[in-house]
Amino acid sequence: MGLTNGSKDGYEKGFRDGLAGRPSNPCGPLDAFKQALHPKNYTETFLDGYHQGWKDGNRKRNGV
């Protein structure tokens, strides 16, 4: 499977967020609370950003 634009964007976003130590997008107070209890490390943040970007990219490409 080749890189779609979405996965490439997500890869870069995850990379930047991981470097900055930023949390991935918490959806609500519960997620934010969980994140405060268990801050994500670089790899988790990176993978979250990659996965989110991949989903967004596929959604855009398929016009959904």
Distance, in Å, from the CA atom of 63 to the CA atom of 36, rounded to the nearest integer, reads 35
* pTM (global) more than 0.85: no
**pLDDT over 50 (residue 1):** no
Range of 52's domain?
5-61
pLDDT tens readout for residues 20-56: 666 555 556 776 677 667 766 777 777 777 777 777 7
Number of domains in the chain: 1
Instruction: Retrieve residue 22's tokens.
Output: 């930023």
Contact 40, 63 (CB under 8 A): no
